Structure formats: C-alpha cells, structure tokens
Amino acid sequence: MKDLLLLYYDSKKHCTIAIDSDGTIYTLPDKPIKWLRRWCVEAGSSLEGRLEGYRKKMGIIQKPALYVGGYPPWIFIPTVSMDRDDCVYVRADRIRKIGNDHGLAVVYFDTGVVYRLLVCARSLRQQRSRSLQYLKTLICLR
C-alpha cells in the first residue's frame, strides 16, 4: 500500500477497505479514521491539526479535506462527515475526472481505476477543486 486512492469502512466485516493505485484491494483492521490519524502523526502532525489548518486557510467548516502529507502528498476528501461510518475518503490529487451516472459520482483516477460513489458529483467536484487549491497553497509555502 504505497499509493492509496480511497478508503472506506466495511461495517459488516468491521474493517477498513483500502484501494491502491493499481486497483489492489486491502483490508485493514479498525476504522479508516484510525489509519488516517496514524499516517498524519507519521507525517509530522495530528489529524486534528491538519483539519484545523485546512479549515482556517480555506474557510471551510464541513467536510474539510485531510492533508496527510508525504510525497507525493496525500490529500483525502471525505464524502460525508468523518464521524460517520459510511464516509468514503477519496484521494483528491489522483482524480482525473468526476462524472455523473444516474445520481452516482463516477470517479476516474489517473491510474485507470474507476469507482462509483453514492454522492453528488457536483459536490465532489467542488471539494476536489478546493482540495487542489489548498495543496497548491501548501506547495507555495515551501
């Protein structure tokens, strides 16, 4: 698992499902938030600090993007509140295109992986745009 595209919680199996850039599916114990918290700390900050930084810089309160860090930098957008078990974390910087198919957002990643999500495509596009804007802001600070 070097380059994840998305994470979500499987409530039936009580584990995290992680999809890698080549489409490989991994199962991890516990919920995605535990893994995201761990990866943020490994990258040098807390999950709460990363979320607060995004909120302050972008002026966004609900569904803030989560900049994990690393190289290439991981920045995930949550599809719903991160407190909910049905939240899917989508890697914003690896999305090539977001389409719409009868109420489903169809996410085309730059690796060729395609994933359908039960969210509004327009809303996901807006989240992606803000996330990439935030990522550019961070890169300019270096």
User: How far apart, in whole angstroms, are the C-alpha atoms of residue 11 and residue 69?
Assistant: 27
Q: Is 8 helix (H, G, I), strand (E, B) or coil?
A: strand
Cα Rg of the chain (Å, integer)? 14
When pLDDT is cut at 50, 70 and 90, the band that residue 126 belongs to is very high
Residue 91 near residue 75 (C-beta atoms within 8 A): yes
Residue 8 corresponds to which tokens in the numbers above?
């979500």
pLDDT digits (tens, 9 = 90+) for 34-51: 999 999 999 889 999 999
- Give me the domain span that covers residue 110: 4-141
DSSP symbol at 62: S
The residue that leads in pLDDT, 86 or 60, is 86
pLDDT of 70: 74
pLDDT of 133: 92
pLDDT at 142 over 70: no
pLDDT of 1: 53
Residue with tokens 């596009």: 125
User: What is the number of domains present in the chain?
Assistant: 1
User: How far apart, in whole angstroms, are the C-alpha atoms of residue 105 and residue 123?
Assistant: 9
Cβ-proximal residues to 127 (8 Å cutoff; 6+ apart), any chain: 63, 65, 77, 92
Task: Find the angle CA(118)-CA(124)-CA(106) to the nearest 5 degrees.
Answer: 50
Provide the whole-model pTM.
0.92
Amino acid 77 reads I
pLDDT at 138 over 90: no
pLDDT of 141: 61
